[in-house]
Amino acid sequence: MYFFNFTLIAFAHQTVLKFFKGLVVFLLAFSGICSVFAGEKDWTFWQERFLQSPSVQSPENNTTKPHIKEVRITATLPDYPWVKVSGYRDRPVERCLTCHDGIANVSPSHPPEFGCSVCHGGEPESVDKDQAHATLIYDPAAGTGKRNPSNLSVVERSCGQLYCHAGHTDEDRNHVNRVKKSMMNTMAGVISGFRYQWAGQSRKTARYGTLDVADTDGSIPKNQGALEKLEKLPFFSSATIPESILNQRTLVPVSQHPADHLLRKKCFQCHLDSPPAKGKYRSQGCASCHFEYSASGLYEGNDPTVSRTEPGHARFHKIRAIPARATCVQCHRAFALQSIGTEPHEELDIPEEIKPTDQVEVPATVDAPEAIQNTIFEKPVVDAAENFSLFPGKGKAMKDVHTARGMDCTDCHTQFDIMGDGNLYSKQHEAVEVRCETCHGDSLAYPSISQITEPGDPAIRISKHYKGGANKVEDWMAVSAHSRKMSNVKVQDGLIVAIGKQTGKVHEVPLVKDYLDAHSIPQHQSRLECSACHARWVVRCPGCHQSIGPDQAPAPENHSLDIGEPALMIGPRGKVAPMLTQPERHLTVIDERGKQIPVLGRMGDEQGHYRQWAFTNPHGTSGSNLAYALNPHSIQKQARSCTSCHLSPETLGLGAGDLKIGKSSTGKGDFVDPLNRTDKILKSSQFDPQAKMSMRGEPLAGTDQPKARTFNQEEIIRILRVGNCIPCHDRYNDPVYQDINQSYAFARTMDHRRLREKILNLRQSPE
């Protein structure tokens, strides 16, 4: 009896347990399936555990759910075959394409077998959006969402991983390290120039950058201007320090100098990791150059998860190994002038998203001429952002001769010019390795060349992406000013040629030594940069007054651009170079009541107010009036006229006016009567407002470039003296210029006077 009861109870107990266990399993399964249909769980989990099929129909709408698309990460690194790409994230299988179905392969160097997570991070085995995107690599401060893993603040986790673009024994391949020290990222030139001119630092060489960075590779070519380190630019005041920085650091440098405030608020939008200006579209970090953005900022690819109407996306999911001109001029706006006249139907490389047989409609929202909006083309058209004139009513600037021949920015500038060579520099001219002489030589010698002797030569590796094909052993290449082989300038069939990196077009390079008539004047050979004669225009800004209001933000500036023939000065390499002529930069600072803030001396004494305040740099010259030497991208085969230099006060930096030459050879009686008499009337200056120096060589403008300066009195007299000869001797190959001192001696003789009178009489006599 007891046994029966016990058995019965045990049997009932087991039956109840089985019932509840079955009920629990049923409820779990039912709730899981419901969750799948509701989109709340990982679809792959339920598909593999319960459904055992690649697709399932939803009972609610009888539609087919997208099937899981898997990619197996089987790639190894080309130069390191023992390194498996899947090992970087320990993810041999990825399911990103389940949602991103239609996205283009990012580049031939990053094939589908690389997967997505090696660059982007994330949880690639999940198809739940939040879970898959939870650990994506991005910089939250960038303001561009989670789509860019190449911001320089996080780049070590993506592009800068070992054996990708970092960690190589060949330093040239460590692109991430080089870019971080490049001037496009540190902005050392802009910072040092502005701070020096506004007396924020005592030296012209750079002390600060956008970040703390040191050169620790053991190679610092100080003879080229390289530095050991840069400190991060101080903040203007404690009130301007972002909370994110205050939360991380207890000691943050504060300068209380207005230059630092203006640099952060106005100038820093140009460095690599900065967000673009409002209404402009580009990425940050490596993607700044290697991803294209249209003028409208709209995506044009086939990834269904990316909006085609929301601006701020790259044009395509496509890395360009060699950046296009349109990408360069998004930041270097003045150089966009070279593109004026580009045909709007110019063809581009067609991304994988657009097959050759596809038709592409240009929507009305795209920044393009009305004539091509809403029009069907067989191939995509070039962004019309390049086809505009900044100077309505003033005509068009002459296109640079290199641009006119179809050359791109990267056809002249090397990767070391653009991405840096691993050194920290103060000034642009120190960082750029290409010179006119690199390709064209000079009047005394042909370009320097060097032969490729090893298969591992960088000139071969760098050229593997060029349309014309890679270089090879035994090729003779031109050599840059930093003694590196150029990768697209070489000897071919006995000629020096430049090969378009993106077009494959071969351009024969004219050599200066073969054109001695135009380059035979000894003084020009030794004293002038090529651009002093061949640069035909430079961008000028008519006005750019700086002001700071009570909200600590610089007030917006409305100014237009203009162009003009360059003035000249002595550049940082010791030769005559074009000058960027800009008006004086003044500063106004007002408080909450709209009143100008007083300027206090070191002892607290009031020296004036920040109302149109003009600064003095530490060397005692004007900090508001700048003389800056540059090589403008406005080169023409036809050089400027002799009179435009030797008889022009504007070219000499004396300002616009009537040139009066006194009898004394000392120049004491020489003067320029300015056309603009504003400063004379106000008794603030006897010179033209645009003047950079006086007739006696007294500098009116400061310069932040080491060794650069305006002309001194001796040079002014010498330049103007040649102007007396030009009316009769107006040819470059005139023998009088071969020995100018001997010609001056002959000019003082009676024979020259008689000859001069005879020539003038012949010119004045009737025919």
Q: What local confidence, expressed as pLDDT, does residue 728 receive? A: 86
Angle among Cα 486, 491, 494 to the nearest 5 degrees reads 165
Of the given ranges (123-137, 428-442, 586-600), which has the lowest mean pLDDT? 586-600
- Residue 616 inside a domain? The answer is yes
Residues 112 and 221 in one domain: no
Tell me: do 605 and 628 sit in the same domain.
yes
Q: Which of 270, 297, 324 is the C-terminal boundary of a domain? A: 270
**625 or 335, higher pLDDT:** 625
**Average pLDDT taken over every residue of the chain:** 80
Whole-number Cα distances in Å, 313 to 120, 133, 306, 518: 16, 18, 8, 50
Q: What element of type H or E holds 81? A: strand 80-84
User: Is the domain of 534 the same as that of 675?
Assistant: yes
Residue 283 token pair: 């990425």
Longest dimension (CA), the chain: 155
597 shares a domain with 544: yes
Confidence class for position 341, pLDDT limits 50, 70, 90: very low
Q: Does residue 468 lie in a domain region? A: yes
Quick: pLDDT tens for 345-398. 233 333 333 333 333 333 333 333 333 333 333 333 333 334 434 444 455 677
Residue 646: both structure tokens together = 């030797």
pLDDT of residue 40: 37
**Per-residue pLDDT tens over the stretch 664-698:** 555 566 777 777 666 666 555 677 778 898 888 89
Q: What percent of the chain has pLDDT over 90?
A: 49
- The identity of residue 261, as a single letter, is H
Tell me if 171 is assigned to some domain: no
Amino acid sitting at position 298: L
Does some domain include residue 372?
no
Q: Is residue 22 in a domain?
A: yes
CB atoms under 10 Å from CB of 394, counted, come to 10
Q: What total of structural domains would you count in the chain?
A: 6
Looking at the fold, whether 501 and 422 belong to one and the same domain comes out as yes
| Domain shared by 596 and 704, yes or no | yes
Judge whether residue 468 has pLDDT over 90.
Answer: no
pLDDT per residue over 733-743, tens digit each? Answer: 888 888 888 98
Q: What is the mean pLDDT of residues 592-597?
A: 77
Domain annotation covers residue 281: no
Sequence-distant contacts of 148-151: CB under 8 A, at least 24 apart? 148/283, 148/284, 148/285, 148/287, 149/119, 149/120, 149/121, 150/283, 150/284, 150/285, 150/286, 150/287, 150/290, 151/273, 151/284, 151/285
Q: Are residues 248 and 214 in the same domain?
A: yes
**Is residue 153, in this structure, part of any structural domain at all?**
yes
- Is 7 inside a domain boundary? no
- Rounded to an integer, what distance in angstroms lies between the CA atom of residue 438 and that of residue 479? 6
* Residue numbers of the domain that contains 763: 734-767
Return the minimum-mean-pLDDT range out of 203-207, 287-291, 343-347. 343-347
Q: 433 and 447: one domain?
A: yes
Between 245 and 197, whose confidence is greater? 197
**554 and 514 inside one domain:** no
Q: Quick one: DSSP state of residue 596?
A: B
Comparing 721 with 485, the larger pLDDT belongs to 485
Q: Answer yes or no: do 556 and 652 share one domain.
A: yes
Q: Are residues 565 and 702 in the same domain?
A: yes
pLDDT band at 729 (very low <50, low <70, confident <90, very high): confident
pLDDT digits (tens, 9 = 90+) for 496-524: 999 999 999 999 999 999 987 778 888 88
- Give the pLDDT score at 487: 97
Read off the pTM: 0.80
Looking at the structure, tell me whether residues 605 and 640 fall in a common domain. Answer: yes
To the nearest 10 degrees (0 to 180), the angle between helices 740-747 and 750-764 is: 80
What SS3 class is residue 235? strand
Dihedral sign for Cα atoms in the order 510, 514, 518, 522 = positive
